[in-house]
Amino acid sequence: MPTDCMVEAAQTVEIRSPVVGILERVHARRGEFIRQGQVLVTIESRAEQSAAESAQARAQAQGAAELAGAKVSAAREKTRRLSDLLAEEFVAPQAVDDARAELQLAEAELKTARENTQIARLEHRQAVDQLRRRQILAPFSGVVVDQYLYPGALVDGGEARKPVLKIAQVHPLAVQALLPVRLFSQVRVGQVVTVTPEVPFQRPIQARIRVVDRVIDAAAGSFGIVADLDNARGELPAGLRCKLGL
C-alpha cells in the first residue's frame, strides 16, 4: 500500500556575508536557477581592491633583489681577484679578509631582499583572499528561494544578522517518508522505490533510498527513510506531497 511522503529540497541554506560592508549587487533573483560557483552577492570592495593592487606591486618589485644580487656578484669577483693577487704576494691578507667581509654582507642583503619578496607575495595572497571574501559564491546548484536584502543595505555575517538570500538545492530532490516498523526488514539503502507526486505532477518516478533511520519511533511505531529523486531538468518543485511505493 502506498505511503504518504514529501518531496523536499535536498538542502536549504541562508546566504550571509562573512564580512561587514555595503551590499553592492545581488546577482540572482527569487525563483532563478543558480549553478555551483556562481557569484550570488557582491559587497562593496574598493578599499580591498586597492590593497590587493598595492600588495601585488610590492610582490612584483624586483629592484632590491636585483641590486643585492649585483652587489654579491661584484663582491665575489673582487674576492677572487684579491685572492689571486694574495697568492702572488701582491696584496696584504687584510685586503682579502675585507673583501670576504663585504661578500658576506652583500649575501646577507640578498637574503633579506629575497625574504622581503616572499613576505610581499604572502601579503598579496592575503589581500586577494580578503578581496574574494567580498563576493559570495553559490555552494551548490539550485534555485533562489527568497531575497532578504537589497543593494545599499549594510551586511554582517553574524548569526543574528539578516541573511541576503535563501537558496535550495533541487537536484536531486529528497523524498521523506515514515514507514511502519513491520517494513523495517524490507527496506535497505540503495533500494529503488516509486514516487508519485501530487496533481499536476502525478507521473510515477523512481527514486533510490539514501537513508534508513536506525532508530525506531516507538510511540508511533514507525521509522523514517530518505530517497533521492532525480530532478536534473528542474521539472519538479520542492514541497510537493506524494505517495511512495516499495
Q: Are 165 and 13 in contact (CB under 8 A)?
A: no
Do 202 and 236 lie in one domain? The reply is yes
Supply the pLDDT for residue 160: 61
pLDDT value at residue 84: 84
**Among the listed residues 15, 41, 33, the one whose alpha carbon sits nearest the alpha carbon of residue 171:** 33
Q: Mean pLDDT over residues 44-71, rounded?
A: 89
138-177 pLDDT per residue, tens:
999 999 999 999 999 998 866 667 899 999 999 999 999 9
Q: Is 212 helix (H, G, I), strand (E, B) or coil?
A: strand
Q: Are residues 207 and 231 in the same domain?
A: yes
Same domain, yes or no: 91 and 109? yes
Residue 161 located in a structural domain = no
CATH code where residue 147 lies: 2.40.50.100
Neighbour-count burial for 43-67, b at 16+ CB within 10 Å, e otherwise: bbbeebeebbeebbeebeeeeebee
Report the domain count for the chain. Answer: 3
Are β-strands 33-34 and 142-147 bridged in parallel, bridged antiparallel, or unpaired?
A: antiparallel
One domain, residues 37 and 58: no
Specify if 215 maps to a domain. Answer: yes
Tell me: do 128 and 53 sit in the same domain: yes
| Structural domain includes residue 236 | yes
DSSP designation for 185: G
Do residues 58 and 122 share a domain? yes
Q: Say whether pLDDT at 42 is over 90.
A: yes
**Does 56 share its domain with 116?**
yes
Q: Does a structural domain hold residue 222?
A: yes
**Same-domain pairing of 121 and 183:** no
Do 193 and 78 lie in a common domain?
no
- The whole-number average pLDDT for the span 132-142 is 94
Q: Would residue 86 count as lying in a domain?
A: yes
Within a domain: residue 148?
yes
Per the structure, the complete domain to which residue 39 belongs is given by: 14-44+134-156
Do 68 and 177 lie in one domain? The reply is no
Look at residue 60 and tell me if it is in a domain. Answer: yes
